[in-house]
Structure 1
Amino acid sequence: MPTLTDEEQEFMDSPITPEEIDAVLKNLKPHKAPGPDGFTAEFYKKFKETLMPYMTHLFNDIIKGGPIPKTWTHSKIVSIPKPLKDSLKVESYHPISLINP
């Protein structure tokens, strides 16, 4: 079974940096919501200077064993019909995940 080198292990154990979060944000599609909060990537990119300290703290706290926000595990899945499709077929619907209030 493959194992990590000491250098790779040290990297994996290191805290998440704002630069790493910024690199992820740059690769997100603008009109997609990357998480259960429903905010689009465009929102995170626009307010990244304000949000970055909070996201960095939150992610590093989770890595250290802190609690994951309960809202990250709650959602509802609804079916949205595709236009001009046979409503009696499963493939005629888009499953959409919505956060619970």
Structure 2
Amino acid sequence: MSGVPVDRPRVVCLCGSLRFGREFAAERKRLTLELAIVLAPEAADVPVPDPSLVRALGELHLRRIDLSDEVRIVNPGGYIGAATRREIGYATTLGKRVTYLEPDS
């Protein structure tokens, strides 16, 4: 152990378009240095994704939201796509705190 006391850390789920990989990485690093546990999707580079796999990965991400205290939207330029809007709606229904990298327009 490092000897640094850590209370129950905040759990933050990152949501947003995976095309913003650099921004996801920067936000993951920033939150980790704030001693948060960060949950985020991973880009699955498959040439032609199976629709059932796409649905399953979407459901998996909702389980990350279930586990989180906060949902952080990675939205450079204010961009929020349909899948991310669905995740925001889901998080809001659960009463999760939703925050944005950039203000939601």
| TM-score using structure 2 length | 0.21
Higher relative contact order (CA 8 A, sep 6+): 2
TM-score by length of 1: 0.22
